[in-house]
Amino acid sequence: MNAKDRLIIALDLPSTEDAQTAINAIGDEGTFYKIGYQLMPIGGLDLAKRLSQEGKKVFLDFKFHDIGATVERGVKSVAKLGGDFLTVHAEPDVLKGAVDGRGDDKRLKILAVTVLTSLNQDSLTKMGIDIALPDLVLKRAEFAAEAGADGVVASAKEAAAIKARFGDALKIVTPGVRPAGSDANDQKRVVTPADAIAAGADHLVVGRPVIAAKDPAASAAAIQDEIARAL
């Protein structure tokens, strides 16, 4: 897997027109794009399908969370888009429903969301979750492995422990990645691209440092170069 395919560019933008403008500006430097909640209800599904048809890889960051049967039906529908990654919450019934819904379509990889990178230990305590954050991440990674999911979404700060426990059995997709000197924005547990790769992350999700850059293509290329040097 090359450095380009390891970089997932998050299209967190207010319209599909803005997203297409960003895609055009990134050009050949972008091979893998994330579509999440912001675009999903306003044309994001059509954009995902079009990107897939154009040969791009697509990360559908929809974080499905419902009873297993409902998730199963939802994933069956999503599989028709031709996406490559789909996120669901890391609960056993949810994961089983997602894996069953994916069926034989091995292109669509099911990723379990462990703990959002916008949360820290204090956030968990306020939510009434009385467990150390790294332990919770590993527990949810265990749920993913037991259900037959393909990977997890986790901070690079927990990636090394996940890799040590599960090896290559689970892909690790890491958000909250910021090149040195970038604003952390709403993320609490951020790392640089090189640090994320060194910790064992397989794919890095980067949004604003690329799409908000004066030269998005150059920004994407610089991150890919950092990834390549860290491999």
State the catalytic residues. 63
Query: How many residues does this entry show for the chain?
Result: 231
Q: How far apart are CA 222 and CA 128, in angstroms?
A: 41
Helices (H), 33-79: 44-53, 68-78
The Cα-based distances of 107 to 34, 182, 222 in angstroms read: 16, 33, 28
Q: How far apart are CA 139 and CA 70, in angstroms?
A: 24
Q: Contact at 8 Å (CB) between 32 and 224?
A: no
Q: Cα angle at 196 between 10 and 27, to 5 degrees?
A: 35
User: Which residues touch 97 (CB under 8 Å, ≥6 apart)?
Assistant: 66, 67, 68, 69, 70, 71, 72, 75, 88
Q: How far apart are CA 115 and CA 121, in angstroms?
A: 10
Q: Contact at 8 Å (CB) between 134 and 83?
A: no
The one-letter amino acid at 25: A
Helices (H), the chain: 3-6, 16-26, 44-53, 68-78, 92-102, 121-126, 133-147, 156-166, 193-199, 208-211, 216-230
